[in-house]
Amino acid sequence: MRGMAASYHPKPHSRTTYTVLALFVLAVVVLAFLNEPLLVSRVQTVSLNLQNKKKERKFPFPDFNKYRHTRTLSPEEFGLEHPHERVIIVGDTHGMNRSLHDLLSTLSYDPRKDTMFLAGDILAKSTEAGSLAILDFLSQRQRGICFPDIEPKGPHRSGKSADAESKCKGVYAVRGNHDQMIVQWRAWREWFEPLQLTFPSADLHPRRLHVPSLASLTSTSTYNAGPPVGTGSQFLALIESEFLRDRSSDPNGAAADPQEWADIERKRAARTWRAEWWKRIPQPGKGRASKDWIPFGDHYWIARDMKPEHAKFLFSLPLVIHVPSEHFFLVHGGLLPSDPRRPSDDERQPLAHIPSADDITSDPTDDAEYDHTLLKVAPPQSVLRGLGTESKNITDADIEEMRAVQEAAVLHDVPHNRDPWVILNIRGVRKSGKATRRSDKGKHWAKIWNGQMKRCGGFVESSEREGEGDEDEDDDRVPARFRLTEARDKDNDHDDDASLPCYPSTVVYGHAASRDLDVRRWTVGLDTGCLYGRRLTSLVLQRRHPADVDTPTRTTPTDEEEEEEEGDDEDESSDEEEDELDEYAADGPLGGLNARYARVAGGSAVSRARKPPKTWSRGIKFGDKGSHLRAKLVSVKCPKAGDFAGL
């Protein structure tokens, strides 16, 4: 037993071994603490992240979207009060500064007489210099500054000061989806650059005996984060210089893909002071947000290099411009006349009932049923003076007021029209009622809009119109003075041919380069692919005298053209993934669509079977016939795709 008991006592040399090992571990820990002052906090952070990996919270960023939903323009701001004044609406420029000025030169643009509008996607995808030049041009116009080299020639009129002589008319624009990415990056930079973070100084905690850091002990490779920087602007200067260095030294390396480079650097910075800065830099999202927050792309650099006045101009741009006097909307992507998840004649649809003060609500009841966050939009306001459906003394002014209220209700009551992503990106609508940016999926939103505008029968049954005889077949006006009644046939609910108690309005838009020029009776699509070497197109409006007689222009598609096939509604669960495909391809997946003919009211504007002229124009019908607007399309040829010299 003694022998057995003796065997349990540790041998002297084993006790010495344990002592040496303990001292070695203690020395490593002490030296590590001297070398890495933030070791404790880092270990705690890593441990917390490992325990809550599935519940890791994202950084609480402020809102960088700077959304402004609608800007409503008065007749004076729209700028067609006199016959010599014009409105010029330009399609997607994408930073093609030279093409924009070629178009304005072709139009003999006079900033004192012409009001300019742009349909979004003003910037990005060509050159940074071109985008900044356009921003400079537009921001100066917005501030009322006219460039001397394009002012009308001739001596100044007597009695006019130089300031009055150089006063410009307005410049207005809506945001495009690419403009919105620049807005986000710029708003983020303005938040990030002044940030200050405190780290222990490398001078106060020098490395000793070259003891390896914890990161190098637990990793197969070392990463030198360098001395810490204390402000956001310093950190941006650091990583921007590193990105440009890597891209210059190895054009085919990770820096060839900015997102890949940022992902690698973010991972390498883990457990270093840089990680604190990186987590304050947004990362791309999924689905709809998959193209947002791509670092070191053209949107990023434009946002960095623009002037404060440029940023102010961009931040001021709304998603929608509404001109009630002309019953006209300007957007980038599109609008819907009704909620596609319900029948168009459902009483909750804005065009399915006569507008009245009783219909004005501040809380739409169907917001909770919508899948995405919606903007708060002020409900339509009016002084309808209690007009009811039996009122008989209705003036033209009353009708105009009611139309304006109904148009505002389209923006307010249709959830899709309060979803910024839809307004900026929509190209079609699926059978489920979801918007898609794929041109080959679902039903083109412009066809939906025109289909419902054709059903507008005013606020009265056609048989009850007062003083109306046989109407001209080409007269698309709805009488302005009549007794208010419900125009919808109660016995024909959900009938797509039944008339609706509404008046038509017009939408001008961009965004759809794969559809090319697409002009229908109540929609005008102006994106003709200047970026891809095609054309830059404008819509020019001018008030004509009622006595003027123009040759009628066919604008209504033929029956064959109206039977446009709808895209297949396949696999709706993959909508968001499919949507990404159409956005960045040169001509989208439908490169052959309208490849030979641009669609202008069912006809061909330019045949691509032969070499098109450098400049062409064509008259179209626009707006109410009673508005006496003369409308024409003017287009100029753009440089070949990828030829951005001189932009």
Residue 62 lies in a domain: no
Q: How large a percentage of the chain has pLDDT more than 90?
A: 50
Residue 160 lies in a domain: no
**Is pLDDT at 157 greater than 80 in this prediction?**
no
Q: What is the pLDDT of residue 31?
A: 61
Q: What is the pLDDT of residue 412?
A: 92
User: Do 622 and 547 share a domain, yes or no?
Assistant: yes
Report the mean per-residue pLDDT for the chain: 76
Q: What is the pLDDT of residue 159?
A: 41
Residue 460 pLDDT grade (very low, low, confident, very high; cuts 50, 70, 90): low
Q: Say if CB 298 and CB 128 are below 8 A apart.
A: yes
- CA–CA separation, 63 and 205 (whole Å): 38
Select from 219, 251, 279 the last residue of a domain: 279
User: Do 467 and 573 share a domain, yes or no?
Assistant: yes
Residue 158 lies in a domain: no
Residue 483 pLDDT grade (very low, low, confident, very high; cuts 50, 70, 90): very low
Number of domains in the chain: 2
Residue 204 lies in a domain: yes
Select from 279, 302, 332 the last residue of a domain: 279
And the tokens for 582? Answer: 């159409």
**Is pLDDT at 102 greater than 90 in this prediction?**
yes
User: Do 249 and 388 share a domain, yes or no?
Assistant: no
**Is pLDDT at 148 greater than 70 in this prediction?**
no
Q: What is the pLDDT of residue 223?
A: 77
Orientation of helix 128-142 relative to helix 97-106, angle to 10°: 50
User: Do 346 and 320 share a domain, yes or no?
Assistant: yes
Residue 295 lies in a domain: no
pLDDT tens digit string along 256-265? 999 999 999 9
User: Do 549 and 425 share a domain, yes or no?
Assistant: yes
User: Do 563 and 595 share a domain, yes or no?
Assistant: yes
Residue 65 lies in a domain: no
Cβ neighbours around 47 below 10 Å, total = 10
Q: Which residue has the higher pLDDT, 306 or 57?
A: 306
Cβ neighbours around 627 below 10 Å, total = 16
**Is pLDDT at 496 greater than 70 in this prediction?**
no
User: Do 470 and 594 share a domain, yes or no?
Assistant: yes
**Is pLDDT at 298 greater than 50 in this prediction?**
yes
Q: What is the pLDDT of residue 435?
A: 94
**Is pLDDT at 187 greater than 90 in this prediction?**
yes
Which of 118-122, 206-210, 543-547, 626-630 is predicted least confidently? 206-210
Q: What is the pLDDT of residue 519?
A: 95
User: Do 407 and 555 share a domain, yes or no?
Assistant: yes
Q: ∠ at Cα 69 (142, 145), nearest 5°?
A: 0
Highest mean pLDDT range out of 4-13, 40-49, 136-145, 632-641?
A: 632-641
Residue 221 pLDDT grade (very low, low, confident, very high; cuts 50, 70, 90): low
- CA–CA separation, 418 and 562 (whole Å): 28
Q: Say if CB 320 and CB 69 are below 8 A apart.
A: yes
Residue 363's CATH number: 3.60.21.10
Which of 138-147, 216-225, 350-359, 605-614 is predicted least confidently? 605-614
User: Do 89 and 22 share a domain, yes or no?
Assistant: no
Going by DSSP bridges, is the β-strand pair 629-637/615-620 parallel, antiparallel, or unpaired?
antiparallel
Q: ∠ at Cα 143 (318, 87), nearest 5°?
A: 65
Residue 609 is which amino acid? A
Q: Say if CB 466 and CB 394 are below 8 A apart.
A: no
Report pTM: 0.78
Q: How large a percentage of the chain has pLDDT more than 70?
A: 65
Q: What is the pLDDT of residue 25?
A: 74
Q: What is the pLDDT of residue 395?
A: 81
Q: What is the pLDDT of residue 547?
A: 60
- CA–CA separation, 269 and 403 (whole Å): 58
Residue 122 pLDDT grade (very low, low, confident, very high; cuts 50, 70, 90): very high
DSSP characters over 353-371:
S---GGG--SS-TTGGGSS
Q: What is the pLDDT of residue 255?
A: 84
Q: What is the pLDDT of residue 327?
A: 96
User: Do 232 and 324 share a domain, yes or no?
Assistant: no
pLDDT tens digit string along 18-69? 777 777 777 766 665 544 444 333 333 333 343 344 445 689 999 999 999 9
pLDDT tens digit string along 402-457? 999 999 999 999 999 999 999 999 999 999 999 999 988 899 999 999 999 999 99
User: Do 599 and 463 share a domain, yes or no?
Assistant: yes
Residue 306 lies in a domain: no
Q: What is the pLDDT of residue 27?
A: 74
User: Do 343 and 491 share a domain, yes or no?
Assistant: yes
In this prediction, residues 345-368 reach a mean pLDDT of 73
Residue 642 lies in a domain: no
Q: What is the pLDDT of residue 546?
A: 59
Select from 279, 300, 330 the last residue of a domain: 279
For residue 264, give its domain range. Answer: 10-57+196-279
- CA–CA separation, 177 and 122 (whole Å): 10
Q: Which residue has the higher pLDDT, 98 or 369?
A: 98
In this prediction, residues 11-24 reach a mean pLDDT of 70
Orientation of helix 232-249 relative to helix 177-192, angle to 10°: 120
**Is pLDDT at 3 greater than 60 in this prediction?**
no
Under 8 Å CB-to-CB from 460, ≥6 apart: which residues? Answer: 479, 482, 483, 484, 485, 487
Strand order across the 428-429 sheet: 435-436, 428-429, 443-444
In this prediction, residues 472-481 reach a mean pLDDT of 42
Q: Say if CB 511 and CB 120 are below 8 A apart.
A: yes
